[in-house]
Amino acid sequence: MSLRSFLEKMDSRGEVLRVKRRVSTRFEAAWVMSRLAKGPVLLFENVEGFDVRIIGNVAATRGRIYSALDVSEEGFYQRMIESLRNPQPPKIVKDAPVMEVEEKPRLSKIPILTHYEKDAGPYITSAVISARDPEGKVENVSVHRLLLLDDSHLAIRLVPRHLYKLWRMAKEKRTDLDVGISIGVHPAVMLAAASSPPFGVSEYGVANALLKGELTLIRCEKVDAYVPAEAELVLEGRISHREEVPEGPLVDMTGTYDAERLQPVVEIVNVMHREDYMYQALLPGGPEHRLLMGLPREVAVYEAVSKVVPKVKAVNLSEGGCGWLHAVISLEKQTEGDAKNAIMAAFGAHSSLKHVVAVDTDIDVYNPLEVEWALATRFQGDRDLIVIRNARGSTLDPSADQESGLTTKLGFDATKPLTKPSKGFEKAEIPSTPNAELIVEELEKRVKDIH
């Protein structure tokens, strides 16, 4: 299973748009991607100064992510939950498409994008990074941003999670941490790498389960790490246990600039790629970034809330909440208090959540107008508001305490009270007829023709 096989599938559906006009890696490609962020996959075929194509907006819609897994919207949560519970170790092979070319590092030959005006420099933003602990017993696969420093060095942003833990373990032994950096992989690998199984569970196993056993890996040539056999490009490197440099700013999921911090340096020691490789670009703060990071958290919230209420219909880490800070949950409650329990479970499942809105199953969680309508007609602040002060939140939120990450969290129970007749909360509907539907269809066509 490869990025290419997925693109062929999308191309057959008319969802790949080829950009033939010359485009620069400095702002231009990112600007085009931002303006078509919810549209088709973009294939830039004429990149100024490079003979490499750039592919962008690959997984920028929920529909494309569902297609990548061959699941419906309804089946997505269950597929993810099953894959996280039952990971399948991938097959290791000795020969692979990504091994067609092997060369010394020269990162300036790769069309790495500079995205926003105040970014610290060109950033690799779609890197899936694999590493193992010094004893080779624990493997982690995760997505991290990488700042270009020179032809053989990058700075990596390490959030205190599993890769950071592996790096600290290597640091305690005064040794560098070997990493395989894969660029241009199937969306299922990206999705698995953005998930958070327990430490010690390899995300490659999750990806292989998502792909029904079709993922294959190869061992890197110069470092002790494994990478997808059908990746477009692989950088083999070592995260220094000593050298750190200023990293950032870069735009993150909120669409605001993240802070500059001292972060470790990665030395690239070998490069492998397909002969005609594509460089995969991911727009920071764009829909693809938010979906790939947010969907695994939606699954975690769905699973946690399902344990405390009878039925969960859907979870949406909303676009307005940056795909990270706000959740809307539609649920079926049996007793008063179910919605509040659901809200508390959601906060426990995704610690970065700032605001959670619980609604009934007749509300579309993806429609902000319907959610606001539920708040307007079903919510009373003195009865239905949960306030949690000084809780751990996300430093991505610029209004939170940037040193401690502490924030105030709010939960909104916008479900119908069971103590009142339900008819008072029903949305009014006008009965339709075939003739009325035909009239509207004709009128909509005429309006479209006018515009």
Catalytic residue positions, numbered: 252
Closest of 357, 369, 300, 294 to residue 331, by C-alpha: 357
What phi, psi does 65 have (nearest 5°)? -65, -40
Distances (CA, A) of 21 to 10, 46, 114, 442: 22, 6, 19, 38
- Can you tell me which residue has the tokens 């460089």? 279
Closest of 414, 243, 245 to residue 327, by C-alpha: 414
Structure tokens at 36: 């078509």
CB count in 10 Å sphere of residue 211? 21
CA gap 209, 202 in Å, rounded: 11
Angle at which helix 287-306 crosses helix 338-349, to 10 degrees, equals 130
Structure tokens at 313: 């219909």
Structure tokens at 233: 């490009």
Q: Are 291 and 59 in contact (CB under 8 A)?
A: yes
CB count in 10 Å sphere of residue 116? 19
